[in-house]
A and B are shown apart, each in its own frame.
Chain A
């Protein structure tokens, strides 16, 4: 007799498309942004004459072949910005119309529970609060990147056309502040990316497969007894019971 498992639909096809389109597009936006930023690379972490971290060290620029490519950076940035904006816009629209937003936006309990999730992930506390698709920390993080994406778009528009969109530019604190904000959001995206990758690796194959194939295998605790002939072909018991 074949072994049976229960699978659960996790990520709808649309969300998987948005996710995997966004990944290379955002990567190209960050890379071309680095080419642009290099031409006036004045930001640093530090105080007075003390610099803790220069954005970016010469070795970093050299390793990534960044210097003297401003024109190229701008041309890629102002082409791929459309894909980033359109993909993001359709994604957010989809969230609203599909009801997926209920699974991803934080709720009243999220702030408190996210702390428990962090303690759990740091192996300080055992067990997670009950959750649906995403735990509280994921809800905050994934909603946060949506807000960040919108922020990148708005600060980007303010730098791109500061005269035509001067109200937006002024609301962001002016041209130079908008550039700092745009840059900071990019740093936050890369930090998100690093944590995201670590979490995906720790979560393992089943979770990763969810973002590609759409389903996750869960322990089948209550597999009803099935007649042998029914197992000849892949069985979808729930469908056969017309409960779907």
Chain B
């Protein structure tokens, strides 16, 4: 008959207990609503409330330092799996006033010291193929087939190893209207390409002819089309979508 979970109490006592519990409950609800209001009205850091950005940067530290590994690669597919019609999703930085004949890749070794490299010189380097499930930050994905020179091979060939000891690599389109920043760990991944072919043919203009980045450990927003300049930095280079509220890291 007796049970430590049972009590005989007066109605008044029940009322007091109830009122006290609900007073605390409503105070916590009000505190939560204030917290929500506070969070949404903090000064913005690149398009989102500052505290959210702080946590996203913390996520970046966690994943890039403790989870990311050069040995974790995007699953490789065979050419037959690749979609013949490749989705085109963005044209920022791909303006019409572009002289393909005059194009050379610019690599800033240090301020005032820029390498100019032609497409033929890049094509002369060892060729690597990557067939992988391309993932857009919007949520769709598509198996696509790319070839070019492995970014790490390119760095070795042009003696850019001291530059690649820096934390970040920045890439711009020739008109500087699209730009991304990528952590060097990810750019050194063996699947990262300076890419000049899609489905075994030269890149179409809308896929970034003459040269684009393919980096399967990142969302599509980082796969910059029509590379103009590459540079190295210890601080985060400007990033187009980061400025518009997206995660800087955007790693997969």
Contact = CB atoms under 8 A, between A and B. Distances in A.
Interface of A: 2-9, 20, 24, 36-37, 39-40, 42, 70-72, 74-76, 78-79, 82, 161-164, 166, 170, 175-176, 179, 209, 212-215, 217, 220, 222-224, 231, 234-239, 241, 243-244
B13 A78 contact: no
A133 to B, nearest CB: 10
A98 to B, nearest CB: 13
A238 B6 contact: yes
Interface of B: 1-14, 17-18, 20-22, 25, 28, 32, 47-49, 51-53, 55-56, 59, 63, 67-69, 72-75, 133, 135-141, 216-217, 241, 244-247, 251-252
Nearest to A205: B18
A237 B252 contact: no
A239 B7 contact: yes
Contacts of B247: 74-75, 78
27 contacts: A4-B10, A7-B7, A8-B6, A36-B139, A37-B139, A40-B139, A72-B48, A79-B51, A79-B52, A79-B55, A161-B63, A162-B252, A163-B72, A163-B74, A163-B216, A164-B63, A175-B133, A175-B135, A175-B141, A222-B1, A224-B8, A234-B10, A235-B9, A236-B7, A238-B7, A238-B8, A243-B2
Secondary structure at chain B's binding surface: helix, strand, loop or mixed?
Answer: mixed
Secondary structure at chain A's binding surface: helix, strand, loop or mixed?
Answer: mixed
A18 to B, nearest CB: 13
B1 A75 contact: no
A161 B1 contact: no
Contacts of A214: 21
Given A175-B135, A222-B1, A244-B4, A164 B252 contact: yes
5 tightest Cβ-Cβ pairs between the two chains A and B = A71-B245, A40-B139, A213-B21, A234-B13, A243-B2
Contact of A238 (B4, B12, B51, B73): B4
Contacts of A76: 52
Contacts of B7: 6-7, 215, 236-239
